[in-house]
Structure 1
Amino acid sequence: MKYADFLASQTQSEPPTGLSPVLEALWYAGRDEWHRAHNIAQDNEHDPMQNWLHAFLHRQEGDAGNAAYWYRRAGRAVFTGSLRREWEEMVRTQLSE
């Protein structure tokens, strides 16, 4: 799937089939369905990408302290750009374009 296709899918009522858990959570996060995205993010706390996702979601929520914890767990610096820019970067890292 290409990034443009992923973006276009956000107008649908359900995420595309076959998405990885991280992409599915990002799909929900991009639609401001925070709780659905967060439930997915909590499923695998040993995966650095899941931890980055978890950090992003807490940043999106406005909980900087919790976000910083998850960035550390992901082995990443706290993202300082916009939420939209971080979301886009995360989506692009998960798509094989």
Structure 2
Amino acid sequence: MSIRITSVQTQNGQEIPDGGSTPRRHLDFIGRVSPSGTVEIKDGRGGKVLGSAQVVEGDPFKVAVNALEAKKYEFVAELQGTSEHSDSWVITVT
């Protein structure tokens, strides 16, 4: 099993690097997962679910997260029902 976030983008396609910041309140998380299942984007490992999507193994996932507050987030992708999670992707929403 594996899961990873490969990119975070604003609605207009602007990349937000790990450790970056943005004033945008809507972000799209792109990544890969194996096996198929539901990917959840959370604020910290085991944290609140901010968005989710059903994903097929081999296809990139895209999970939209809306209505973010101004704060520092440590986003992780988790495969629902497992202990599998990605490395964190830190973004400060300003």
Give TM-score scaled by structure 1 length: 0.29
**Higher RCO (CA < 8 A, seq sep 6+):** 2
Question: Higher strand proportion, which one?
Answer: 2
Question: Higher helix proportion, which one?
Answer: 1
